[in-house]
Amino acid sequence: MTGSVRLASPDSPADVTALATLRFRWRHDEGGESGDLATFAPAFGAWWQAHAFSHLALLAEAEGEPVGMAWLGVLERVPGPERFRRTAGMIQSVYVHPGSRGRGIGAALVEGAIATARERGLDYLGVHPSERSYPVYERAGFGRTSSVLELGLTAPRRPA
């Protein structure tokens, strides 16, 4: 990968703008959701400030420009008598701008999320990958499992 991946800060206006823009491009420009960036960006920044304890953002940059992101959701688990501190993580919202895909940026973001989870002492990581991204996660060491069950609680999204 040409470029870098780093932990972003909700206290950095530049990071908030970069991540809000990437998220907007993905959900609006590529996903067909309605809305406008001028309204979304400040609301996104406020959300991140309120969730900074549980949602860590990684930002990929190439030639000084933001090109990708990944989020690490951290969940405190119920304590046990032997191991009181128990935490898990979910890799969420990994996105690389279309013009920067195919250069290893997604893999670098996943590796950055794994490294951050290890540094923070998380017990394990999960992910709900898209079909296209399975190989990225498998190369990073994730394994398929049949031991996870899921119950969808919201209606499926309608195509845009």
Task: Please indicate, yes or no, if residue 84 is contained in any of the structural domains.
Answer: yes
Instruction: Return the CATH number at 104.
Output: 3.40.630.30
pLDDT single digits (tens) 126-156: 999 988 899 999 999 999 888 888 888 886 6
pLDDT single digits (tens) 76-89: 999 999 999 999 99
How many domains does the chain contain in total?
1
Task: Please indicate, yes or no, if residue 150 is contained in any of the structural domains.
Answer: no
**Domain enclosing residue 55, as ranges:** 4-139
- Put simply, whether the predicted model's pTM sits higher than 0.85 gets the answer yes
pLDDT single digits (tens) 29-69: 989 999 999 999 999 999 999 999 999 999 999 999 999 99
Q: Please list, in sequence order, all residues whose beta carbon lies within 8 angstroms of the beta carbon of residue 80, skipping any fewer than 6 positions away.
A: 86
Q: Please list, in sequence order, all residues whose beta carbon lies within 8 angstroms of the beta carbon of residue 60, skipping any fewer than 6 positions away.
A: 1, 3, 4, 5, 66, 67, 68, 69, 70, 96, 100, 105, 108, 109
